[in-house]
């Protein structure tokens, strides 16, 4: 089940953040997650009553920026990231989408491409250990 996260989910979301991004200088603090629950579009996915992952979108004037997507280690490779992305595109309408991703993260890049994202630019030294890609998806006009 996918729903918008609320403050009761804060500890579980923070635990996923620490687990998935343990050595990442970009990982969010508990206060950052709290801020995003209140101010942005943060969706959680649950499996058997446990939060398995989340997706965080920052709303900009003309687009949504994918800030973070994380699936807990025990729930990976079950299609939860795909479900979160599909849910997002059904519910976040009338805007384009952007994201940054490590050039080394082929799994994520391939997933984003399946959802219509295209590489627009190489971001030199964007991450501590490698370059990044700026990827963009145009709003689909139905």
CA distance 7 to 100: 26
Distances (CA, A) of 15 to 40, 42, 54, 65: 19, 15, 11, 23
Cβ–Cβ under 8 Å, residues 17 and 27: yes
pLDDT of residue 80: 98
Q: Is the per-residue pLDDT at 107 higher than 60?
A: yes
Cβ–Cβ under 8 Å, residues 97 and 136: yes
pLDDT of residue 49: 95
Count CB neighbours of 82 within 10 A.
12
- 125: its two tokens: 């030294």
Question: What is the model's pTM?
Answer: 0.93
Averaged pLDDT for residues 98-122: 97
- Res. 140 pLDDT band, cuts 50 70 90: low
Portion of the chain with pLDDT greater than 90, in percent: 89
């Amino acid at each position: 089940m996918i729903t918008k996260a609320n403050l009761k989910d804060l500890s579980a979301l923070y635990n996923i953040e620490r687990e998935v991004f343990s050595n990442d200088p970009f990982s969010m603090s508990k206060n950052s997650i709290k801020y995003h629950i209140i101010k942005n579009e943060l969706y959680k996915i649950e499996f058997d009553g446990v939060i398995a992952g989340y997706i965080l979108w920052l709303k900009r004037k003309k687009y949504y920026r994918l800030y973070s997507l994380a699936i807990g280690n025990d729930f990976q490779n079950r299609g939860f990231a795909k479900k979160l992305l599909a849910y997002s595109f059904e519910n976040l309408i009338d805007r384009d989408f952007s994201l940054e991703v490590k050039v080394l993260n082929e799994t994520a890049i391939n997933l984003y491409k399946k959802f219509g994202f295209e590489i627009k630019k190489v971001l030199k030294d964007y991450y501590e250990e490698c370059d990044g890609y700026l990827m963009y998806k145009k709003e689909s006009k139905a």
